[in-house]
Amino acid sequence: MSTAMMYYLAWHEDDWLDEMLDRFPEVNAVVPTAKTFAMLAEQRKSGEVVRAVLVLNAAQEQERCHAFLQQCMADPLLSADPLYIVGLRPEEEKAWQETYPRAKIVVITGFAVEFDYDAVLARMEIDLEGSH
């Protein structure tokens, strides 16, 4: 049986993590560092994780987020996994989308309490099930 894993990569706990934990039975929440990249790459390479969805909150430490994503994009398995980038401000969306064209960029405009997390989480769930 294939193992699918939802990875939430962030520097701090936040609303996205809370929403993901409410929706998914298992979320591997980690800090996006070189050590984390090595762990993810090994889990994918070994077959321990067959499908993965990467959700990166880029609200903080953006240079380190870029460094982490560059490592992922250079990896043949991780670069093929669905990638969601959350936590950006509207004016940052275009630059990130140009840098990571395959990524799904999710920008919350307005109040977070009014944001439709369910619609985004449903797309993540479809990707996790392998229907991308």
pLDDT score of 57: 96
Range of the domain at 84: 4-128
Q: Is pTM beyond 0.85 here?
A: yes
pLDDT score of 3: 86
104 vs 119: CA distance, rounded Å: 13
pLDDT score of 132: 45
Q: Which backbone phi and psi does 29 adopt, to 5 degrees?
A: -95, 120
69 vs 74: CA distance, rounded Å: 9
Q: Which DSSP symbol is given to 89?
A: -
Strands of the sheet containing 83-88, edge to edge, are 27-30, 4-9, 51-57, 83-88, 104-107
Which helix (DSSP H) or strand (DSSP E) does residue 129 occupy?
A: none
**How many structural domains does the chain have?**
1
Q: Which residues of the chain have pLDDT under 70?
A: 1-2, 112, 131-132
